[in-house]
Structure 1
């Protein structure tokens, strides 16, 4: 019986064999044998470019490896989607816990080296699954009134938005939540206290309580100073 790879042709005048056309290697692997209408050429081994598909244990191993890689990739995608969904659910729950009307008292400094003034404030907090708006009014010494507003949008635990309440104009906000506190960097529209950067923290301090704190660096000492802090309670 001929080896499966032995190639025959009917005569020397027949067209170039398939083996020659595909450049088999020159090592003979079978003896001459007779074929109908002519003789069989010596079989030639396959070039590495045309080796048969792996069979048996090697084929099974490669098949299992491919299945494993596809399964691992699918697991990673599923884990990412689940974590993203869980993060979104956590933020939605946290934001909605800040929904409502709040009132409270606090302190404010016009500049990092200015005297502290006592203030009283009222806020309305509107929250959705991915946004938070804090709209309030603060009064000092019965004659000074300041409108304060912070509008935030969230993408996972990352927050961006705007802050209105400084005499320099609307400021940009960006940061993230850690635990019960949203920690935000403020970028003022103009230079305030020697630079354009400060920090705002919106913290849930109890089931019905919230604290808003702004800190800025004193240009003379280089230390962070609390320029305003308001403690609010759901009314």
Structure 2
């Protein structure tokens, strides 16, 4: 009798898992589709403790593919300073993890890894060379589905200093 109950419980668990995966994938696909299109906005970026934050204006384009987001464009500070920015992320449906690259830092492309919770993808940044004394930072990409995209980077501004917000960009879908 106990063996039959265990078999029934195991079969039920497998059925529930099998039915929930397509729904979870559909929800993830809907989230990824929020990034499509043209986005413009502004924010601030601070390079290190010795510099003041720069006000920047940004234009990016979002593209999606199967289990993938690509955000590419540029940000401009004042009239003469312009920098390319990009985030290419791939979603792994088996693990629920995101991974990819970020372009925009003066030290070169960085590795991104993380997960999504609700409307926010929480990522760890691994810089290719030390930035302000270390090789790690945090990025959050928030997309509420209402035409607003926010990208925030948190890092230390000086070696051994406290982790604080170093970039905050708010973009609106066009």
Contact 2:73–2:85 under 8 Å retained in 1: yes
Whether the aligned pair in 1 keeps the contact of 2:43 and 2:55 (CA below 8 Å) is yes
Q: Distance in 1 between matches of 2:50 and 2:20?
A: 45
1:144 aligned onto 2:75: no
2:40 paired residue number: 103
Distance 1:106 1:188, change over 3 A: same
Describe the SS at the equivalent of 1:89: helix
**Alignment partners' CA distance in 2, 1:195 and 1:234:** 34
1:196 aligns with 2:135: yes
Q: Which moved more, 1:91-100 or 1:218-227?
A: 218-227
Instruction: Pick closer, same or farther for the CA change 1:107–1:145 going to 2, 3 Å.
Output: same
Q: What CA distance in whole angstroms lies between the structure 2 residues aligned with 1:163 and 1:133?
A: 10
Q: Distance in 2 between matches of 1:129 and 1:82?
A: 20
- In structure 1, the gaps of 5 or more residues are 1-63
Conserved in 2, the CA contact under 8 Å of 1:172 and 1:187? yes
Q: Which has more strand, going by share of residues?
A: 2
The answer for unaligned runs of 5 or more in structure 2 is none
Q: Structure 1 length as normaliser, TM-score?
A: 0.68
Contact 1:98 1:125 in 2 (8 A): yes
Over alpha carbons, which structure has the higher Rg?
1
More RCO (CA 8 Å, sep 6+): 2
Contact 1:107/1:229 (CA < 8 Å) preserved in 2? Answer: yes
Partner of 2:109: 170
Shift of 1:205: 4.3
Q: Aligned runs of 1:52-201 on 2, under 5 Å? A: 64-156=1-93, 157-201=96-140
Structure 1 residue runs of 4 or more that deviate by more than 4 Å after TM superposition: none
3-state SS, counterpart of residue 71 of structure 1: helix
Task: Tell me if structure 1 keeps the 8 A contact 2:42–2:56.
Answer: yes
Aligned length, in residue pairs:
172
Q: Measure the CA separation in 2 of the matches of 1:220 and 1:170.
A: 21
CA distance in 2 between partners of 1:206 and 1:70 (Å): 42
User: d(CA) in 1 for partners of 2:151 and 2:2?
Assistant: 55
Offset at residue 114 of structure 1 (A):
1.8
